[in-house]
């Protein structure tokens, strides 16, 4: 393997100062990631920042939805509503404290989550005014600020940053924000988010409800469509993982089949029936496998993992990760000869399809709505095949690897150039 040569640091005495090449005002050299605490959502943001060459020049601002009490009942409302509710509850509590203290009584504290107050401090880590102020005040010295956000809870923060510092920031929202896309400079979203506009989707929705289904308009020029989710698993990450996990995976009998098991979702429901279907199919293909390594996600229900453990634990060809660190996920992506993945996870499928290796999906027929559209697109492009248990796992087939993250990064570069800005070289 050829060693990677890192570029030499620029000499402070040679070359033309940046100010004579347009100055720092037009060079994007830093980024802010606005996350919502979801690993998959923040992974998409960091993956894009990494593809733009700003992996070592970004900071993470996280907005955390509070839990407990009224927050659980109203979880479907935006975080901005919870902020207002918090202020109201806090004022009521302060007023009640004064009344009760005068009567010698104590008031119970507001509910906490994981031992920490679930109040304002837990949802103000990402502060739109603070980020916008920082972008304005440091613009002359540091240049424009790239802001990348993902997830429903980040929409109000990211759009507010752009409104407050539109001349100093470039805001990218990953995943469809549903309404008013002009609040962002660029929107990056999977094609299946536009499934509600198709004739098939319209037939599934009662006429009186169609006006409430979003998006309502086709994508415009500042919407970038992807096949799947963005991620950090580029060729560099896979090479690094291949080296890091060499001693554990290189000696394993081939082909090495990696099985990633997620968990049921609203539009992809399953239980022990799919777990039994999976274990039966794995037993059927055992003869054509050298090794099979199985991983569960945090979303995997105990009843599903229990079936898999019971059915497969005694077979020497199977190894089931126990969930302890280090996580072999990247090592699996680097060393696997083929993948079997449950249909519920867009992220796991997107990352596996970026390797160009055979990807088999189990449970795809259980998906509904836009996730069925996602699976149809994967099959149409030859990226995946259904896992039936009758496959020869030693058969190698390939396809042009899914490259959504790099393609999205190229769209960001072009959009910045249209604005008169460029990324640091």
Q: How many residues comprise the chain?
A: 425
Look at residue 118 in the predicted model and tell me its pLDDT: 35
Position 25 confidence tier, pLDDT thresholds 50, 70, 90? confident
What are the two backbone dihedrals, phi and then psi, of residue 330, each rounded to the nearest 5 degrees?
-70, -35
Structure-token match 């396809």, residue found: 399
410-425 residue pLDDT tens: 999 999 999 999 998 7
Position 170 confidence tier, pLDDT thresholds 50, 70, 90? very high
Look at residue 124 in the predicted model and tell me its pLDDT: 36
Domains 20-62+127-227+413-423 and 235-401 share a fold: yes
In terms of CATH architecture, what is 235-401? 3-Layer(aba) Sandwich (3.40)
CA–CA separation, 271 vs 286, rounded Å?
Answer: 23
Region of residue 60 (left: phi > 0; alpha: psi -120 to 50; beta: else): beta
pLDDT-above-70 percentage for the chain: 80
**CATH 3.40.109 is held by the domain 20-62+127-227+413-423:** no
pTM of the model as a whole: 0.84
Look at residue 93 in the predicted model and tell me its pLDDT: 55
**pLDDT of 15 strictly over 50:** no
Domain ranges of the chain: 20-62+127-227+413-423, 70-122, 235-401
Among the residue ranges 75-84, 134-143, 218-227, the one predicted with the least confidence is 75-84
Instruction: Kindly report the number of other CB atoms within 10 A of residue 54's CB atom.
Output: 20
Position 145 confidence tier, pLDDT thresholds 50, 70, 90? very high
């Amino acid at each position: 393997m050829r060693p990677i040569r890192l570029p030499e640091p620029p000499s402070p005495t040679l070359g033309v100062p940046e100010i004579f090449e347009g100055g720092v005002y037009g060079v994007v050299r830093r980024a802010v990631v606005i996350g919502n605490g979801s690993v998959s959502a923040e992974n998409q943001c960091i993956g894009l920042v990494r593809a733009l060459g700003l992996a070592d020049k970004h900071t993470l601002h996280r907005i955390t939805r509070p839990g407990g009490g009224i927050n659980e009942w109203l979880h479907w409302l935006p975080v901005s509503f919870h902020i207002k509710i918090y202020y109201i509850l806090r004022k009521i509590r302060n007023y009640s404290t004064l009344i009760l203290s005068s009567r010698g009584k104590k008031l119970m504290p507001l509910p906490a989550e994981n031992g920490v107050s679930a109040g304002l401090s837990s949802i103000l880590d990402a502060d739109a005014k603070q980020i916008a102020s920082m972008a304005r005040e440091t613009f002359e010295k540091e240049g424009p600020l790239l802001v990348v956000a993902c997830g429903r809870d980040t929409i109000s923060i990211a759009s507010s940053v752009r409104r407050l510092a539109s001349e100093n920031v470039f805001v990218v929202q990953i995943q469809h924000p549903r309404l008013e896309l002009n609040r962002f400079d660029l929107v990056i979203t999977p094609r299946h988010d536009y499934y509600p506009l198709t004739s098939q989707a319209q037939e599934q929705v009662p006429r009186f409800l169609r006006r409430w289904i979003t998006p309502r308009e086709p994508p415009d020029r500042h919407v970038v469509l992807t096949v799947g989710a963005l991620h950090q698993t580029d060729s560099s990450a896979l090479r690094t993982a291949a080296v890091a996990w060499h001693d554990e995976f290189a000696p394993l009998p081939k082909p090495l089949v990696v099985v990633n098991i997620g968990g049921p979702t609203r539009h992809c429901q399953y239980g022990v029936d799919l777990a039994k279907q999976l274990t039966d199919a794995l037993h059927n293909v055992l003869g054509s496998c050298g090794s099979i390594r199985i991983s569960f996600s945090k979303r995997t229900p105990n009843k599903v993992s229990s079936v898999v453990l019971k059915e497969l634990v005694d077979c020497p060809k199977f190894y089931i990760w126990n969930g302890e660190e280090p996580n072999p996920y990247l090592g699996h992506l680097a060393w696997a000869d083929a993948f079997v993945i449950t249909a519920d996870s867009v992220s796991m499928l997107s990352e596996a399809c970026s390797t160009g290796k055979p990807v088999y999906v189990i449970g795809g027929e259980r998906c509904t709505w836009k996730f069925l559209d996602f699976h149809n697109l994967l099959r149409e492009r030859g990226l995946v095949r259904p896992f039936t248990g009758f496959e020869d796992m030693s058969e190698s087939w390939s396809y042009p690897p899914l490259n959504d993250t790099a393609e999205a990064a190229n769209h960001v570069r072009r959009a910045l150039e249209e604005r008169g800005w460029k990324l640091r070289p």
